[in-house]
């Protein structure tokens, strides 16, 4: 009798797990919508130029600190703009990470858009300029319902990749 009760409890538990694994249905995004994800980390250009040290300046430094050039650590903030069909969906200026503001600026943004054909534009300014973009990409894509389009920046090729 005890074994039968234990088996019944396991069956009820398995049934509950089975039902809850498919109900209620979960949808990442509403029908007729798609997701565009901006995902990347990029270090802005240095705030100032490197300065070559003279031999007298090098001699004044301890031996373990003698580098031929003195470069500032701090980096410019990175401005990222994303538009679809001329409508601005994301525009942020991202501060560099790190105690001395010398690290990468990171963006992770998910944006829901209507499915269908979109003229996409993504631009990034990492040099501190007030206007224009140092890197940009425009493309026209057909986004099917439920699609997750990922936009990232490849530091090796210095261009945006849209997949």
Q: What is the pLDDT of residues 83-119, one digit of tens each?
A: 998 899 999 999 999 999 999 999 999 999 999 999 9
Listed residue (82, 85, 110, 97) closest to 42, CA to CA:
97
Is the Cβ–Cβ distance between 38 and 121 less than 8 Å?
no
pTM to 2 decimal places = 0.76
φ, ψ of residue 42 to 5 degrees: the values are: -145, 135
Report how far residue 2's alpha carbon sits from residue 110's, in angstroms, rounded to the nearest whole number. Answer: 53
Give the whole-number percent of the chain exceeding pLDDT 70: 100
Listed residue (122, 138, 140) closest to 42, CA to CA:
122
Mean pLDDT calculated for residue range 17-34: 83
Count up the domains in the chain and report the number: 1
Mean pLDDT calculated for residue range 17-29: 82
Sign of CA dihedral 108, 111, 115, 116: negative
Domain range enclosing 98:
2-162
Length of the chain: 163
3-state secondary structure labels for all residues of 15-33: HHHHHHHHCCCCCCCCCCE
> Taking 90 as the threshold, does the pLDDT of residue 159 lie above it?
yes
């Amino acid at each position: 009798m005890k074994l039968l009760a234990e088996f019944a409890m396991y069956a009820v538990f398995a049934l509950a797990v089975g039902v809850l694994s498919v109900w209620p249905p979960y949808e990442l995004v509403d029908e007729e919508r798609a997701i565009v994800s901006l995902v990347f980390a990029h270090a802005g250009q240095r705030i100032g130029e490197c300065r070559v040290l003279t031999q007298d300046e090098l001699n004044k430094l301890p031996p373990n600190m003698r580098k031929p050039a003195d470069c500032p650590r701090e980096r410019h903030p990175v401005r990222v703009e994303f538009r679809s069909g001329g409508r601005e969906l994301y525009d942020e200026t991202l501060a560099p990470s790190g105690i001395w503001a010398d690290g990468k600026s990171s963006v992770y943004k998910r944006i829901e858009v209507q499915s269908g054909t979109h003229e996409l534009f993504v631009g990034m300014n990492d040099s501190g300029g007030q206007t224009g973009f140092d890197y940009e990409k425009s493309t026209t894509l057909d986004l099917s319902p439920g699609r997750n389009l990922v936009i990232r920046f490849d530091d090796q090729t210095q261009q945006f990749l849209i997949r």
